[in-house]
Each structure stands twice: as structure tokens, then as C-alpha cells.
Amino acid sequence: YLHAYQVTNKPMYKRVVEETLDYVVREMTDVAGGFYSAQDADSEGVEGKFFVWRPEEVMETLGDGEIICRYFDVTQTGNFEGHSILNVKVYPSEFARDEGLSDLEFSDLLNRSKKTLMERRELRIHPERDDKILTAWNGLMLNAFAEAGAVLDRPDYTLVAEKNASFLLDNLRKHGRLLRSYKDGQAKLNGYLEDYAFLAAGLLTLHEATFEPRWLLEAVDLGRSMVTLFWDESSSQFYDTGHDHEELVLRPRDVSDNAIPSGSSMATDVLLRLAVVTGDEEFQRKAIIGMRAVKEFMARFPTGSGHWLCALDFYLSNPKEIAIIGDRSGLDTRSLIAEVYRSFIPNRVMIGRNDSVEILDQLPLMDGRGRIKGKSTVYVCQNYVCQLPATDVHELARQLSEGPAQ
């Protein structure tokens, strides 16, 4: 939905992003910063009881709720076992017109009504939660919060992502080894390939959103550890369990992208991005070999290879390399960053640093690059060949829309 909003600029997609992430903060986030695993559908032993409504309930809560019942399809017959799941069948603007209301009038009514209904719903007995914290799933959610914080200019989402990253790195790592799960103050089980790959991907995105060097350096470190633990040179592929895992009859390797990407496809994606960031050709070599190993699988089962195909597209597309130098909190830097995020550019890598941070200068994208005439500056490159430094938003927009650098 975040990417759909970047592509279309439709407010509906932005609303879905914000309401989803707000739900995660409200219902699924531990005070220490970890994200919980699941929420039951049942409450009081009845499936969906917490979430469904009857017309009289809506009317009693809102006083005059006939319009809201019509909008959310809350009826006497219901759409789920005699009750109604709130269900929107028509665009708000069309519904408002049919009801003789302006878009603004209906939007105000809808927002007030949803707030009141939620307050009423909070009085119900809540569904149980699975408060186990899994590193891999947290890495995916971290990625979403970090990217949404940058795209939507929501510092609160960025803070959620930073708190989560700190929690994971501080509590789910022992003697340098990433762990799998955390519950009741205890972390356990050696992490699998997906734990390393998903967290590294989230940290890369968090660096892009904050310019904080720690997140980038931690992602690079995780990438190297991931190769050491899970890559098998003899078979030229990643396995899901590390070399230090207990001996199994068959070492598992799942390459299918299903509800979430496979550990192998995400690891390949991460290695391709880290190769651009670090200039480490070994990262890219292993990523290419990994993709070749599933070439026939991608061709035969594309719907089960979604993230593999994204990684392949990244490799073949000659991705944009973006380096930004400037004060991350400064207005001029923020304007340039906003332009980068204004459009959906899936095949890009971005790193940034403040003037006072020299630890990233050794990276090829930062080598010899600084501000121009004291202004925050962006370098748009491909294969480390850069266009002229951009200090103006319009010039940056032009460079981002163009093909490979000459």
C-alpha cells in the first residue's frame, strides 16, 4: 500500500498504511520495542466477536448512525453469522454524493464516528495475543515502519523502527549470534537464514530513513555473518539452518516465496544491495550464483517466486545509487530526501551521512564526495559513475527520472 501510494498519490492508500501501522503500534508492540506475532480471531470463545457489529449497537453508540450503517454495510441479516463485519462497498466520494453530503462533510462525520466506535469497541473483551517476538517477522515490520516514516514524513514511525532495531540487536543477539525468538525476557534458539536476511533488509531501510551509520554497519555485519553461517560453497546455495545447527537428517532449504519471502530470496536481495553499498564483489558473486540455482524454478513457478524475481530485476536493471551528504534534520536535506521518496524507485540503494560522520567515507558511494558550496548535496550514480552533484530539488528530480549515467 505504501508503494501504491507512491505510484498513484491516492489518499486511500496512504490511509490504509497509516491505519495498519497505527494498529500495530496500538495492539502489537511491546513496551520494549518488539513486535508481537499474532492476535486471535476469537474472544470469549466466539470467532470474530470483538470485531463485528449489530445495527442497534451502532445506533446506540452514535445516536444517529443510519448513514454509518449504510456506509459500512451493517444490516439486520449481517454478513458474518448474523453480525456485520464493517465492509465498505463504495468509494467515499460516491457515497457522500448519494447522501447529499460534500466530501469534507462526510469525511468529518466518518472520522468522528470511527473514533467513537473504536472507543466503544475498546470496552469489549479483547482477543488473546501471541506475544512471542520473532526476529524475522520483526525485520519485515521494521522495514515497513522505516520506509513509511521516510515516505510519509512521519518521524513517529521512524522512532518506532529505531526502537525496534535497538531492541532486536540488544536482546536477540548472544556472542555475536543472532537468535530466533524472545518471550518473557528470554531470547532463545539460533537464528535461521530468514532471521538474518529480514533483519539486515530492515536495517538497510532504517539507515536510508535516518542516515544513522550504526544501522548500515550492522546490516553489513549481518550480511557477512549470514554468508559465513548459511552459505554452502560446495552446493553454491544458502540453507535455512546454519553450520552450527544441530545435525539433521536433511538440511532444510525452502526457496518458495509464499506469504512472506523465502530466506534464500531475501538473502540474495540483501547481498545484491550490500554489494552496491560496500563494493564487495563476493557479495554479488554469491547472489548471482544463488539466482542461477533457482532459474528453472522462477521460470516454471513465477507466482511462487515473487521476491526472487524482484531480486533478479534489481540485478538486471542497473540500479540507481544515491548518496546524500547533509544534515538529516535540515530543511534543505529533507527536501532532497522527500524528492527521492516522492516516486516509487524499487531498484535503488541510498546511503546518507551528516558532515561530521566520517565512518562511512570508506564506502565507494561516499568516497571523495561532499557538499557543493556548503549546500546539502545528492549524487545519483549507476555503476559508481555519477551525474553532476545535485543541490536543487528540480535537478534531482530530473536525474532520478533519467536512465543510466554517461
CA atoms within 13 A on the CB side of 291: 22
Please, which pLDDT band fits residue 403 given cuts at 50, 70 and 90?
low
pLDDT tens digit sequence for 50-59 = 999 999 999 9
CA distances from residue 97 to 68, 69, 72, 108, 259 in whole angstroms, order as listed = 14, 16, 16, 14, 38
Q: Report the pLDDT averaged over residues 189-199.
A: 97
Mean pLDDT to the nearest integer, 63-77: 95
Q: Is 50 exceeded by the pLDDT of residue 405?
A: no
Q: Helix, strand, or coil here: 205?
A: helix
Pair 263, 240: CB distance under 8 Å: yes
Q: Say whether 125 sits in a helix, a strand or coil.
A: coil
Calpha distance 277→397 (Å, rounded): 22
**What is the 8-class DSSP label of residue 256?**
-
Spatial separation of the C-alpha atoms in residues 58 and 68, rounded to whole Å: 8
If one compares 263 and 356, the residue with the highest pLDDT of the two is 263
> How high is the pLDDT of residue 406?
38
Position 230 scores a pLDDT of 96
Please compute the mean of the pLDDT values over residues 314-338 and round it to a whole number: 94
Of 265-269, 331-335, 352-356, 379-383, give the lowest mean pLDDT range.
352-356
Q: What is the grid cell recorded at 179?
A: 537468535
What does the buried/exposed string (b/e) look like for 345-377 if buried means 16 or more CB atoms within 10 Å of the residue's CB? eeebbbbbbbeeeeebeebbbbeebeeeeebbb
- Rounded Cα distance between 267 and 240, Å, is 10
Residue whose entry in the numeric block shows the C-alpha cell 543477539? 173
The predicted model gives 102-110 an average pLDDT of 95
Give residue-wise pLDDT tens across range 272-318.
Answer: 999 999 999 999 999 999 999 999 999 999 999 999 999 999 999 98
User: How would you class 397 by CB atoms within 10 Å of its CB: exposed for 0-12, middle for 13-18, buried for 19 or more?
Assistant: middle
How many other CB atoms sit within 10 Å of the CB of residue 37? 16
Amino acid, res. 136: A
Degrees, nearest 5: CA angle 22-27-33: 85
DSSP-assigned letter for residue 359: T
Determine the average pLDDT of the residues in 224-246.
91
CB neighbours of 124 closer than 8 A, spacing ≥ 6? 43, 49, 50
Task: Give the SS3 label for residue 378.
Answer: strand
CB contact at 8 A, 121 and 169: no
Read off the C-alpha cell for 331.
530543511
CA distance between the termini of the chain: 34
CA distances from 166 to 33, 138, 177, 215, 325 (A): 8, 12, 15, 9, 24
Name the residue among 175, 198, 192, 294 with its Cα closest to residue 243: 192
Half-sphere exposure of 117 (CA within 13 A, CB side): 23
- What does the alpha-carbon distance between residue 358 and residue 366 come to, in Å, rounded to a whole number? 10
- Give, as one character, the DSSP assignment of residue 322: E
